[in-house]
Amino acid sequence: MTPDAQPTPGDGEGRGRGVRAGRGRRVAVIGSLAAIGVLGAGLLGSTGLRIAAQKDASLSAPDEAAGLVRDDGEQARSTADYLHSAFAAGIDLDHSTAAVYRDPSAADRSVLVFGGTALLWSPEHDLDALLKIVGDEEGSVTGVHQVPAGTYGGVMKCGSTPTGDQEMPVCGWADHGSIAVALFPGRTVGESAALLADLRMDLQQRD
């Protein structure tokens, strides 16, 4: 280059500015990705711990649960079998069970329960799907909202579905190891939510 020649964009000075600017952008991008990576690792870590804590669950139908008594009469068994067939066909579970629990103080307040166990990656999505199956069988479930899930955590929701000229509460829970839904004729949604939380403590076990 002669003394009078001016640097062009292709010469070393221009390239040097470009490299420095590029390196600055690269450091900023890497820093952002690192920050996102740390956040992602934290989220994955907490989710992984929750899955590990919840995945090994089992469900049973004991003789008594939350002050209710399992009804083993012919009509109740037929109803439980119907529930099992209707719901089990709509969700893939490793093990499932259904039962009818009668209230000793009121014959018209029996609780119908269906539930099962499996490794569930998206418990809330699966619970929503199970509630839709109730809608297919009985009529749409409306007013679905979250309620306290209790000691075992996960997600619990309640709504109601029409039965004749009345609305019957429907509540369910799901976590990473279990899912269940129950129908509560003769009760309010608030009563049903509290009763399901109590029932869950007697129906669900974790290894």
Q: Where are the alpha helices (DSSP H) in 55-112?
A: 74-88
Residue 7 makes CB contacts below 8 A (sequence gap 6+) with 1, 13, 14
Same domain, 65 and 101: yes
Range of the domain at 27: 7-54
Q: Same structural domain for residues 24 and 62?
A: no
CB burial class (10 A; 0-12, 13-18, 19+) of residue 38?
exposed
Q: Is residue 143 part of a domain?
A: yes
pLDDT 10s digits, 1-25 = 544 544 444 444 443 333 333 334 3
Judge contact between 176 and 154, C-beta under 8 A.
yes
Digit-coded pLDDT (tens) for 89-108: 888 899 999 999 999 999 88
CB 117 within 8 A of CB 58: yes
133 and 81 assigned to the same domain: yes
Give the predicted TM-score (pTM) of the model: 0.74
Q: How many domains does the chain have?
A: 2
